Amino acid sequence: MSNGYTSPRDTYNDGVFRKTPGRERIIHWPSAEPVPIQKEVQLLMSGTLVRRGEFGPLCGSRAIEVDLECAELGIHFDQALSIRKQLMISKVLKGGSWKLKDEYTMKRIRKEFEQKQRPLLEISQRYDLPPVSIFRAIVAPRVLNAYPQFTCLDRTRPAGRIVQSIISETCPDQLKAFVSDWEVNELKIAKEFDMVGYSGSGNCTAAEEWERSIYAFLDDQKINYLTEETLKLYGYGDMGTPDCLLVDDLFIHGKLVKWIEFKCFYASGLKENSYFARKAVGRQVKKYGKSFGKSGAVILKNGFSTEISRRYPSTLFLDGGSLSSKNDFNL
């Protein structure tokens, strides 16, 4: 027996963890109140969050503009940043991605970039598309033409990996083979102004630090649990694994919690962000509820909307801001 569960070796054959009676643990989570959906709507209607051709971090006067609007509405700045990023992603998915697949549009874009050497940021502004996504769409055909045996640009396939190595600038030989020095410089600039088409490594490090702070909190409370890595180690990855599966009978704010998922963003309740919410929250809540019981909890680094808790009443949503590390990031 291990940590209140029958050992993984004993339970691996039938594919189910059989819980034995565990300790009852009661804790109070230091969580802030959810943000009223009305405040999110007001922030959206103010028109300060998203501008045409803008896909990068807020800085200078734009950051001040959004911060002042947040102060007026009583919303934290980091929550507004998270809402903004989700809105930018939704904008590309709903109205922008088709442009990168349209042959006529891409022909014009390639001509502007390759022949006229128009800067990527100008093209991004004109077509309202993430600059790195534009660069990726320009480079991808070059790779396919050079390697006609490759037909798929999925990032797990050879052609896709080559394109990704060019974007990340990890392979000097591929850069030299497919892009000019001027284009490399344009790529570097584009990555500084694009948090939708390009994801650097800084956010991952901050997210990992925050997740470690949650585990440390649970350890301080002497709560027994199994991590996602442990579940996957014993073959439970296919069924979907939360960040934390509780061994003890844990009650948070009087509610029994069987599993916990960590999310490093703000869960927006805006209908404009419904796709993001369903994908990043709804699907996992449903999956974990089916596998481990509906009584779970989701801890969100930047908080959540009242609309989110209304949509998923069986799940306990908690604000994880009190455990955030000092190194915040633009989410």
Q: In this predicted model, what pLDDT tens digit does every residue of 154-193 receive, in sequence order?
A: 877 888 999 999 999 999 999 999 999 999 999 999 999 9
Please give the Cα distance from 126 to 38 (Å, whole number). Answer: 32
pLDDT at 328: 40
Element at 246 (helix H, strand E): strand 244-252
Domain end (from 130, 164, 192): 192
Q: Are 79 and 67 in contact (CB under 8 A)?
A: no
pLDDT at 331: 40
pLDDT band at 199 (very low <50, low <70, confident <90, very high): confident
Element at 211 (helix H, strand E): helix 202-220
In SS3 terms, 1-15 reads as CECCECCHHHHCCCC
Clarify whether residues 43 and 152 are in a common domain: yes
Could you tell me the pTM of the whole model?
A: 0.83
pLDDT at 327 over 70: no
Residue at 224 is within a domain: yes
The closest alpha carbon to 261, from 225, 305, 235, belongs to 225
> In sequence order, what DSSP letters do the residues of 264-327 get, joined into one string?
SS-B---GGGHHHHIIIIIHHHHHHHHHH-S-EEEEETT-BBHHHHHH-TTSEEEE-GGG--S-
Clarify whether residues 70 and 97 are in a common domain: yes
Clarify whether residues 175 and 247 are in a common domain: no
What's the mean pLDDT in 244-267? 93
Clarify whether residues 212 and 260 are in a common domain: yes
Clarify whether residues 76 and 172 are in a common domain: yes
pLDDT at 21: 54
> Of the ranges 4-13, 80-89, 296-305, which one carries the lowest mean pLDDT score?
4-13
Domain end (from 166, 192, 218): 192
The range of the structural domain enclosing residue 272 comes to: 8-30+201-323
> Of the ranges 19-23, 83-87, 227-231, 288-292, which one carries the lowest mean pLDDT score?
19-23
188-to-8, 119, 121, 126, 241 alpha-carbon distances in Å: 47, 12, 11, 19, 36
Please give the Cα distance from 286 to 268 (Å, whole number). Answer: 18
Q: Please indicate whether residue 6 or residue 270 has the higher confidence score (pLDDT).
A: 270
Cβ-Cβ contacts under 8 Å for 327 (sequence gap 6 or more): 205, 206, 209
Antiparallel, parallel or unpaired: β 316-319 and 255-263: unpaired
What's the mean pLDDT in 52-79? 96
What dihedral angle (degrees, nearest 10) is formed by the CA atoms of 9, 217, 313, 269?
Answer: -120
Cβ-Cβ contacts under 8 Å for 102 (sequence gap 6 or more): none
Number of domains comprising the chain: 2
Residue with tokens 């020095």: 181
Clarify whether residues 13 and 87 are in a common domain: no
> Of the ranges 3-12, 103-112, 204-213, 217-226, which one carries the lowest mean pLDDT score?
3-12
pLDDT band at 72 (very low <50, low <70, confident <90, very high): very high
Q: Are 195 and 213 in contact (CB under 8 A)?
A: no
What's the mean pLDDT in 264-269? 94
Please give the Cα distance from 221 to 219 (Å, whole number). Answer: 5
pLDDT at 22: 64
Residue at 2 is within a domain: no
Cα of 194 vs its chain's centroid, Å: 15
pLDDT at 19 over 80: no
Clarify whether residues 173 and 205 are in a common domain: no
The alpha helices in 15-130, defined as continuous H runs, are: 37-45, 60-73, 77-91, 97-101, 103-110, 120-127
Task: Provide φ and ψ at 32, rounded to 5°.
Answer: -80, 165
* CB-neighbour burial class of residue 110 (10 A; exposed 0-12, middle 13-18, buried 19+): middle
pLDDT at 44 over 50: yes
Cβ-Cβ contacts under 8 Å for 15 (sequence gap 6 or more): 235, 236, 239
Residue at 270 is within a domain: yes
